[in-house]
Amino acid sequence: MFKKHACYLSICLLVAPLVATAVALPVEPLPVTTPAPVDLAPVQQALAQLPSVCPDLARQVDAAAQLRLQAFYQQQGNMPLWSADDRRQALQSQLLMLADDGLDPTHYSLPVPDATANVLCSDITSSQHYLQALQDLHYGRLQQSRFEPLWHAQPPTRDPNVEVLAFAAQGLQDMAQAFDQARPSADLYRSLRNAYSTVRQQPLPHWDPVASGPLLRPGMEDPRVPELARRLISGGYLANAPSGKQYRDELVKAVKAFQLSHSLQADGVIGAGTVAELNISPAVRREQLRINLERFRWLAQDLEPEGVLVNVAAAQLSVYQSGIPVWQTRLQVGRAERQTPLLKSRITRLTLNPTWTIPPTIMREDKLPAIRLNPEYLRQQNLQVLDAEGHPLTAEQVDWARPGNILLRQEAGPRNPLGKIVMRFPNPYSVYLHDTPSQPLFTKGPRAFSSGCVRVEQPLLLRDLLVSPAERARTDELLATGLTHEFRLATPVPVLLSYWTVEVNREGGLVYAPDIYGRDLVLMKAMGSVL
């Protein structure tokens, strides 16, 4: 999309690789400047001596932003840019629309025209807020690396400053088009933006919390039934409140619908998880839309037209083709104490009929205590003991109180926790996508059961979407042998593990996911939300 801006490559020489953020963080002071050469254009002289010429602005601008401003004005012939009222009005209009993106327009307020003000300082301030708005809209207001770090197998190569300056140059000709191009184009983002735009302009609904209590199953009687009905009516899941205190019929249907739209097990049974989701306030729900727009701005930088996208929070996997999700399946992801990491890599090989070499954490925290308690555990779990060089050991050769540098390996078979197939991709966490014999857990919700790896409900169907027909036939032959084989893909497939807690489904409804790793409130605070 940015090929047409190749003429701006020289800007790279002027702009630092760091990306300035607009969060309320300490701004590194600009270096003490020497007088600018007299042959510099006035705007460049002002930028070179910003602390003395525009002290108020200098307190808001770090060194990277200063370099970007210098490049922007040089790109435009070092002329003031905001003297025309129509251009300022066009910019102001686009800044106000950032509210629909979950960004606060007041962070980018333009200086009020004042005949006594320094004209150059006002112009530069307008440019700074313009560039910052485009950057925040395209890349996010917060730095993902500070809040939800995502590991890359191949570090990103695009220079954010070049892209922002390209948007900015276009905006001087067509402001609306520039902001629209800076805005992420992914449907995940656009659909959620439309939903947030509607919600934020409506009065917040009100609902009273549902009291905690014993497990409530369909057909049971409970004093909480009236308040449960009122809550579901307030949320639009139920039309009329039933009489009495019996939990049944339309109320059960409404609860199942609520559970389904909140990534819970839609069985109509009301336990602590369902009550917790029912009791999240309308203000927090609205803020969830806003912070997930921020997550989708991060996501847009790594999302590819072809590949596998995992939403860890919802425990759901989507396969994308030509930028469209064509297939989905349920997952099991890491528990809160053993979280599935966020990462971008490429699936390069399949392990067919895998053995399982138990990772150190699982061996230390799970397997060794079980072995010490039960001498038959190794035999029952079909576990083989190996030394550091991979040579077999008997259980009697190991001091299980101090086992030293040993390995535990489970042979391929129906009880192997990796199932029939593993999809592997380079990463420093030793995580992968894999089959599992724990199929009943896929009906649960939320599905945070693993030790960090991602269990796939329909791994062979996923395999079919990753390989060619010839590769599928060959892997079927190898699977049938029952022996362990490593199969390298002819074409590696991008895989992205991300995290978000609300999206818009194909029917246009909002679908929430429980915040299994407790990250939402951190982002709300960082974005400056007021609940």
Q: Where are the alpha helices (DSSP H) in 262-330?
A: 272-278, 282-299
Asked about 453 being catalytic, the answer comes back as yes
Element (H, E) at 48: helix 42-48
Q: How far apart are CA 225 and CA 216, in angstroms?
A: 9
**Is 485 a catalytic site residue?**
no
Strand partners, 385: 393, 408
Q: What are phi and psi of 314, to 5 degrees?
A: -85, -10
Residue with tokens 């190991």: 398
322 close to 352: Cβ distance less than 8 angstroms: no
Q: From the candidates 54, 121, 129, 453, give the one annotated as an active-site residue.
A: 453
Q: Crossing angle, helix 160-171 and helix 175-182, to 10 degrees?
A: 150
CB 350 within 8 A of CB 423: yes
Q: Using CB atoms within 10 A of its CB, is residue 298 exposed (0-12), middle (13-18) or buried (19+)? A: buried
- What is the DSSP track for 56-77? HHHTT--HHHHHHHHHHHHHTT
Q: Provide the 10 A C-beta neighbour count for residue 25.
A: 12
455 to each of 311, 317, 349, 448, how far by Cα in Å?
13, 10, 16, 10
Query: Do the Cβ atoms of 382 and 415 come closer than 8 Å?
Result: yes
Encode burial over 384-409: b for 16+ CB neighbours within 10 A, e otherwise: ebeeeeeeeeeeeebeeeebeebbbe
Rg of the chain over all Cα atoms, to the nearest angstrom: 28
Active site residues: 434, 453
